[in-house]
Amino acid sequence: MVNFSNIKGFTFDLDGIITNTAKFHEQAWHETAREVGTVWTDQLATDLKGISRMDSLEMILKAGNHENNYSQEEKIILADKKNKKYQNLIKQLTPTDILPGIHQLLDDLKDAGYLMSIASASKNAPTILDRLNIGDYFKGIVDPASLHAGKPSPEIFIRAGHILGFEPQEIIGLEDASAGVESIKGAGQTALGIGLATKKANPDLYFDNTDEVGLAEIKRRMI
Ligand code: B16
Ligand code: MG
């Protein structure tokens, strides 16, 4: 593992790291699953974390062996319907929905001069940051619509690193999904995983919860 003194910037996943929109994604996808006749399981919910909208739909269809029952047009209609439901749910987000410890971490990183960017698969990320009132902490947000491949491809974290203008070994990426940890590692950054779901991908640093992740604790583990 690189020494913390080399670190200059942080790339953040959004859903599950900064706020728990995962529960809204889950609620909306659960409804889609019911509509197409796929049985909803906790494993499916976990596997969908960090996966792009269309890839998530494909996974739900495949889980019920329905992948060949829908045309591309019908799939787009299903995904749009899920997104409208999700957008309605996230209207209730306020700054109190920032996950425990994260506001403190953002403040400490900013005060210490580290740069931060967002590597979220969500096309709704700008709206969510606005609702949480934390958009100003970040130098930029990767536009997921411009990517060739979603997580676990390293592309999104490579692009988030380019926004910062630093080398991969100067960056720590934070993720709550195993697909995301794979993406960070593929990009050559130090992967900080939060939550059991990340263990599958062997993050360089592991924390059970967001409130355990502080600047001092990260430093302590990397020296
Ligand atoms: P949208 P992250 C991901 O965000 C979510 O974890 C995943 O469940 C969702 O399907 C994906 O964004 C796309 O989101 O439908 O809003 O474009 O964890 O990468 O911040
Ligand atoms: Mg996430």
- Asked whether residue 170 falls in the same domain as residue 182, the answer is yes
13 classed as catalytic: yes
- Asked whether residue 72 falls in the same domain as residue 129, the answer is no
End position of a domain, from candidates 90, 119, 146: 90
| pLDDT of 63 strictly over 90 | yes
- Asked whether residue 143 falls in the same domain as residue 185, the answer is yes
Say which DSSP state 133 is in.
T
Instruction: Report, as an integer, the average pLDDT of 154-160.
Output: 98
Q: What is the pLDDT of residues 86-115, one digit of tens each?
A: 999 999 999 999 999 999 999 999 999 999
Q: Could you give phi then psi for residue 71, rounded to 5 degrees?
A: -80, 170
Q: What is the pLDDT of residue 223?
A: 86
208 classed as catalytic: no
Amino acid at 100: P
Q: Is the dihedral of CA 101, 24, 125, 162 positive or negative?
A: positive
| pLDDT mean across residues, the chain | 97
End position of a domain, from candidates 70, 90, 110: 90
Ligand nearest to the CA of 194: 2
CB of 51 closer than 6 angstroms to any ligand 1 atom = yes
Range of the domain at 122: 4-20+95-222
Count other C-beta atoms under 10 Å from residue 132's C-beta: 21
Nearest in space to 145 (alpha carbons), one of 137, 136, 155: 155
Provide the domain count of the chain: 2
CB of 183 closer than 6 angstroms to any ligand 1 atom = no
Q: Which CATH number belongs to the domain containing residue 84 in this structure?
A: 1.10.150.240
